[in-house]
Amino acid sequence: MSADVSWLLSADAVRERAHALLDLGERGELAHFAVRPERLGVAADLVAEVTRAAYPDLDVPYHSRWRHFVVGGEDRWAGLAAGLDGDADEVARIRFDLAVTSVLLDAGAGDRWRYRDAAGGVELARSEGLAIASFDMFRAGAFSADPQQSLRADAAALAGVGEADLARGFQVSGDNPLVGLEGRAALLRRLGEALGPGGRVGDLYDDLKGQAVGGALPAPAILAIVLRRLGPIWPGRIVLDGVNLGDVWRHPAGGLVPFHKLSQWLSYSLVEPLEGAGIRVTDLDRLTGLPEYRNGGLLVDTGVLMPKEPRILTDALEVDDPAVVEWRALTVALLDRIADAVRGRLGVAAAGFPLAKVLQGGTWTAGRVIARRLRPDGGPPIRIRSDGTVF
């Protein structure tokens, strides 16, 4: 792998290219968004407000998929884990199996889709609905080819996942459409192929455990193995030196701009399984904020980012549209600034309150809150045509 490709497949590249575009934006040299740094305080105030409301003691967990498995005060994973044996390594493998499949099924659901939760008797939408639907499929053994070990995600089962299988599991119908259903199924099949014959998602845990030194593992190592091992699953993207770059897009002023949103979201979601197995994860702030519609929507809805073209707020945009690439890059860079401002308002230090907690406390929730205040459907200010593999 060339040095250029290796760099693009890193969180450092995500942050560097994002801040380069922010510099252009602050000089008024971007085509699609004006940057209003004087509005950052408004965004930070809202983030601090919702963080204190949700976590009065400021004991904020990491932003990860595990938060979405808690519905109505019931932690579905904790209930499932209570029945597992005490083998910490195997429990970690199971958590990897669950987290990876669930995150890959997490891209935006659309405004109409709902999931009826049989256990709680409630109707769930968006990320919470996607999480519980994928959790229920995992618990039922949908991703395991071994009937004696249903709680796993292995190559044989994943390679055979069809659109109809996901439609049943996610309760999809003509009246309950799920955006990107075909793309999600294809992503799981490619995951099965990438694992290779006899492979299991949980094998990634053993790979990372083997890299730990003195019981510690830097967070960029998690992202590196996710990008290296799972890189081939991404569809129809930019290829450089024979390598599929995944969530990397072209921008007229920024060249190739990497994001690796789902891969970083997944990396955040693997921290707790590793820590639960006794591996200390360090350098968590080397990962970046997540360039998705809640974080990005927060910046638009608070006026930090001002679209320069009416179509940005009226049309459904493709993910490779330069305006979307610009929006996402500015989101990554501005989340770093918001994080500092929020910590100041909360009176906490970065060492004990990393970006993963700011996101959870946090920016994602604040984006949802202000969207509900401004629009009846609570949707984001910018709409993206999703194939289920980016957002």
DSSP 340-358: HHHHHHHT--TTTS-HHHH
Beta carbons of 278 and 41 less than 8 angstroms apart = no
Rg of the chain, C-alpha, whole Å: 20
Please count the other Cβ atoms lying within 10 Å of the Cβ belonging to residue 242: 8
Q: How far apart are CA 222 and CA 121, in angstroms?
A: 36
- Is the alpha carbon torsion for 249, 360, 343, 33 positive or negative? positive
- Could you identify the residue written with the tokens 């600034």? 337
DSSP 259-277: --HHHHHHHHHHHHHHHHT
The tokens for 328 are 């996402």
Q: pLDDT (tens digit, 9 = 90+) per residue, 206-265?
A: 999 999 999 999 999 999 999 999 988 887 789 999 999 999 999 999 999 999 998 999
Question: In DSSP terms, which residues pair with 74 in a beta bridge?
Answer: 71
Nearest alpha carbon to residue 143 among 155, 132, 131: 155
Reply yes or no: is the peptide bond before residue 362 cis, omega within 30 of 0.
Answer: yes
Residues, the chain: 391
Give SS3 for 300: helix
Q: pLDDT (tens digit, 9 = 90+) per residue, 64-97?
A: 999 999 988 899 999 999 999 879 999 999 999 9
**What pLDDT sits at residue 302?**
98
| pTM as predicted | 0.94
Spans in the chain with pLDDT lower than 50: none
**What pLDDT sits at residue 359?**
97
Q: How far apart are CA 27 and CA 318, in angstroms?
A: 26
**What pLDDT sits at residue 168?**
97
